[in-house]
Amino acid sequence: MHTDQTAPGSHAMPRFPRFLVAVLPVVALAVSASLVTQPNIPTWYAGLQKPGFTPPNWAFPVAWTALYAMMAYALWRILSLPENRPGRSAAIVAFFVQLVLNGLWSFAFFAGKSPLAGLVVIALIVAILATISAFWTLDRTAGLLLVPYLAWVAYATLLNGTIWQLNG
């Protein structure tokens, strides 16, 4: 008779592969987003009308660095759970869906120079909520680690929408 500890798939992913799966995709997203964002800040973005509640440019990389670190750690915690834990696979899929949408925003808004396209992609909020919900049921800390990300993206949605209105 197998117990949960000895059943196939009941083990967690080993530490180093878990670290790589949790960190590398987030770092890849951060780097690719930065590559399409940075060249457009002093040119296209600087020329846009922005609302008074727009943070200074230096605040964005600071905020995103902290948020990306929390996102990777939250995923690492979920990957630490036994592979056969109900809901684990769906939570991991939800995480990667929101991560892809996160990256698409930079390409839509900055590379595409389109606040409207950025606003469409920012449906990312729904994916973040789904990820928080999925993580929360498995590991409350992992779910809580994504709450600042949700708050920042909600703020970014307001900022994006206002920029679109001012420049549309």
Domain edges within the chain: 15-167
* Per CATH, domain 15-167 is 1.20.1260.100: yes
- List the structure tokens of 55: 């943070």
Q: Which helix (H) or strand (E) holds 126?
A: helix 124-138
The mean per-residue pLDDT over the stretch 108-129 comes to: 94
93: nearest Cα among 30, 135, 139: 135
Q: Does the pLDDT value for residue 6 go beyond 50? A: no
Q: Which residues contact 32 (CB under 8 A, 6 or more apart)?
A: 103, 106
- Tell if the pTM clears 0.85, that is, is over it: yes
Look at residue 10 in the predicted model and tell me its pLDDT.
62
Look at residue 123 in the predicted model and tell me its pLDDT.
82
CA angle at 23 for the pair 141 and 131, rounded to the nearest 5°: 45
At 2, the pLDDT band (50, 70, 90 cuts) reads: very low
How confident is the model over 48-72, as pLDDT tens digits? 999 999 999 999 999 999 999 999 9
Cα–Cα distance, 18 to 81 (Å, whole number): 10
How confident is the model over 16-49, as pLDDT tens digits? 989 999 999 999 999 999 999 999 999 999 999 9
Q: Which residues contact 30 (CB under 8 A, 6 or more apart)?
A: 64, 65, 68
Helix 59-79 to helix 88-106 angle, to the nearest 10 degrees? 160
Percent of the chain at pLDDT above 90? 88
Look at residue 35 in the predicted model and tell me its pLDDT.
95
